[in-house]
Amino acid sequence: MKLIINADDLGLSSKVNNAIGNAVSKSYITSATILANSEHWDEVIDIAQTGKISCGVHLNLSEGKSLTNSDLLREYGIINSDGEFKKNFNFTRDMNSNLLNALYLELKEQISFVQCKIGNISHLDGHHHCHTWLGIEDIVESLLSEFEIKSIRNIYSWPVINPIQWLRVNNKFKKTLHGKIKSKYFTSYENAINKISSFRVYHELMLKNEVVELMCHPGHDRYAKELDLIKSNQIGKKLNVNMEMINYLDL
């Protein structure tokens, strides 16, 4: 099994950056994704320039400042009067062409900004998984092509939302972006441990020579246990398999 361990939220705070930087230095993780609206770019660049990990963009429509501060995003309630994203916008509703264009310009600016800061972008994923939200997939497909980015994170490998909604999202996402999805399986590291019996079935049936991505969140109090699981290689021990640690640049 080829395993990518990706740290989400690089740039969110100094606490998160320090935790990710430490995990990189000790080779606990192989990849990270960057929030373009970070206020801690010196720290982000130091981590990205270690050369030890692949670095992608953590597309963001739900936290912190919008880079475009678009009047349309404000009109539709995606950002507030201060230009900050709202976390409760309903992206499952139908979106018109004007709104889709405003979202495209926002995500394009995020990718462009990160590219200017670090150079090569290995892949895309999404804060709160926004890259998989219904209505966004065609925008993401266009941006992958425009920036010549080869890979995107897969959707969750089992439902974490309403199963019918998950199936609908899963089918649309994979139909649109199948050529850019490089991992066979995706979930969080802690979720994989908690569902190890299901993970073992995936491994035995599908994953022996496949790419698996497990995300993690160093520096988040909510996920304090997760890094300890990674440090002690709990996935390898519980599955009793050999794993090749890779990153997105290896694909």
Smallest Cα–Cα separation from 220: which of 23, 3, 69?
23
pTM of the model: 0.94
CATH number at residue 7: 3.20.20.370
Question: How many structural domains compose the chain?
Answer: 1
Residue written as token pair 């926002």 = 106
Helix or strand or coil: residue 21?
A: helix
What CA–CA distance (Å, rounded) separates 207 from 100?
A: 36
Counting residues of the chain whose pLDDT is more than 90, the rounded percentage is: 69
Other Cβ atoms within 10 Å of 49 Cβ, number: 11
Residues of the chain with pLDDT under 50: none
**What pLDDT does residue 171 have?**
84
Beta bridge partners of 39: none
**Could you report the per-residue pLDDT of 146-187, keeping only the tens digit for each?**
999 999 999 987 656 566 677 777 788 888 898 999 998 899
* CA angle, 214 then 18 then 216, to 5°: 10
What CA–CA distance (Å, rounded) separates 102 from 61?
A: 11
Which of left, alpha, beta for 132 (phi over 0: left; psi -120 to 50: alpha)?
A: alpha
SS (H, E, C) 131-145: HHCCCCHHHHHHHHH
**What pLDDT does residue 166 have?**
72
Q: To 10 degrees, what angle do helices 14-25 and 224-231 make? A: 10
**What pLDDT does residue 205 have?**
63
**What pLDDT does residue 243 have?**
85
**What pLDDT does residue 161 have?**
58
Provide the residue range defining the domain that includes 39. Answer: 2-250
What CA–CA distance (Å, rounded) separates 177 from 174?
A: 5
**What pLDDT does residue 202 have?**
73
